[in-house]
Amino acid sequence: MRRSRKVKILATLGPASSDEAMIAKLYEAGADVFRINMSHTDHASMRALVTRIREVEKRIGRPIGILADLQGPKLRVGTFTEKSVTLKVGQEFTLDADPASGDASRVHLPHPEILEAVEPGHRLLIDDGRLQLKAEKSDGRSILCRVVAGTTISDRKGVSLPDTELPLGALTDKDRKDLDAILTTGVDWIALSFIQRPEDLAEVRKIVRGRSALMAKIEKPQAVKRLPEIIELSDALMVARGDLGVEMPLERVPGIQKQITRACRRAGKPVVVATQMLESMITTPVPTRAEVSDVATAVFEGADAIMLSAESAAGKYPVEAVATMNSIAQQVERDPTYDSIINAQRGEPEATGADAISLASRQIAETLKLSAIITYTASGTTGLRAARERPYVPIIALSPVVETARRLSLVWGTHCVVSEDATDLDDMVDRACRIAYEEQFAKPGDRVIITAGVPLRTPGSTNMLRIAYIGSDGLGGL
C-alpha cells in the first residue's frame, strides 16, 4: 500500500484503539507510525500492543514504525486537608518539605530538588499554568511565593518551572524500568520527555546502545536554548507544544515550532509536530477550521510527521481523526504553493560526497522528470539524506534491514521496502526497477534514478548514482 502524500502520520494508541482490528483500520486510514504512551501503559499492555502492531505489519506487508514515549519526571504538589483551596492574587503561599496536608497558606512539595534549585524571581506554574506563583524567598527547604494569577489549587496538581534548570537526569526510576522493558520488544523509536540539556540524551544513548533511535521532545525553555546541541545528539525531535505552551508564553510557540522544524531540516533530522492538532475530534466527528489550518501549517513547513494524541488514543472518532489528517495533508501537498514553499526552505548540503550525491539525484530527478529516487540504505543514513532534499518526486528506500525500514517510516517522503541486498550492480538496477514497478511508482518506459554505495554493503559509502529505464518486464536498462 503506497501513500499519496509525503508527510507521515503518527497515531497514539490507547483505550479507543488498542485491539488489532482497530490498529489495522488506523493504518488503512493513513497512520504510518504508532505511539505507545508509557504514562498510561504498563509493561504487559505495551508488549501486547507491539505484538498487535507487528501482526498488522505482517498482514499488510509494509514496515510500520513504533514509538514508545517515556513519561519523564512528573512534578506534583502534595495534598490538602480539604482536597483544594482558594487563594487570592497577591497573597503569600509557601511550598515546603513538610509532608503535612496543605491549607490556604502552604502545601507540601515532595521534590527536594525543586526546593533547592528555585531562586527568587523564578515562576512556578501549577496545574498547566492555571495557578501562577512567583518565588520571593527560598532557603532550600521552603519556597515563599506570591500568587500572580489564578485562585485554585488542589491535590497532586502538576508543577512546571520555566525559569529553573533542575538537577534531574533524563530518566526517573519508572523510566528506567520502562526503558528496559521497551528495549526487549524491538521498538523503533524512544521519545524522551522533559529533557533540559544535551547530557540527558547522552545518558540514555549509553543505555540504548543503538537498539532504538532516540527522539528528543522539546517542551521546556531550557531545551529550546540548547537546541543545536540537542539536535546533534538526537535521531529526531518532537515539537511537544502542550507542555511547551505551559512553560513559555503561548504566543511564542508557533515561532518556536518553525525554528525547530527548520533547524531539523537543515540538520537532516526528522521532526514531528505534536499536541492538540485535531483536539475537537476527541468528541466530534469533524475538526474546527483552526485545527485544519494548524495541521496544514505543519505540512507546509515540511515537518516529517504530524501526530495525533488523545484524538486516536481515547477519542470517540479515532479512525475519522486519522482519515481527516490524511485528507488535509494530501490537499496541502497538491496545493500550487506547496512546492515553492518547501523549495524556499531547503538548506545547503554538507560538504561530503554522500550529500553531494543526494543533492545531485534530486536535481537530476526534477530536471528530467523521473518517476522516483531509489536509495539503497542499510543504516538509514542515505534515506535521511534523500529526504532532507525534499524532492518533488517520490523516494523509495530499499533496505535489507527491517529495523531500518521501520525507523524510516517516520521520515518525510520515504516509501520503505524491505529487500534483500543486491549481489552486484546489475542486480542492484534490476531490483530497484522491479520494486518501483511493483509498488506502482513507475511503469514501463519510465526512468528512475538510483543511489547506492560502492562497494555494496558498505555503510555510509553513498558514492554512486545511476539513471535506469523501466523495461517492459519491469526490470532495468540503461
Which residues form the catalytic set?
A: 35, 76, 217, 275
Helices marked H in 65-193 — which ranges?
112-117, 173-183
CA dihedral 256, 257, 259, 262 (to 10 degrees): 180
- Measuring CA to CA, how many Å separate 121 from each of 91, 105, 106, 148? 16, 19, 19, 12
Using CA of residue 59, residue 65, residue 69, residue 70, what is the dihedral sign? positive
Look at the block and give the residue holding cell 522528470: 369
Distances, alpha carbon 267 to alpha carbons 9, 188, 224, 235, 361, in Å: 21, 21, 16, 10, 19
d(CA 442, CA 436): 6
Q: What is the DSSP string of 252-265?
A: GHHHHHHHHHHHHH
In angstroms, what CA-CA distances link 50 with 97, 332, 393?
Answer: 41, 32, 32
Helix (H) or strand (E) run with residue 222 in it: helix 221-225
Q: What is the phi/psi pair of residue 20, to 5°?
A: -60, -40
Kindly state the helix (H) or strand (E) to which residue 223 belongs, with its residue range.
helix 221-225
With cell 523495461, the residue in question is 471
Nearest partner of 220 among 239, 202, 199, 247, judged by Cα: 247
Query: Cis before residue 455, ω within 30 degrees of 0?
Result: yes
CA angle 465, 466, 467 (to 5 degrees): 135
d(CA 461, CA 165): 41
* Eight-class DSSP state of 17: S
Residues 6+ apart with CB under 8 A from 126: 77, 132, 133, 150, 153, 157, 158, 159, 160
Amino acid identity, residue 157? K
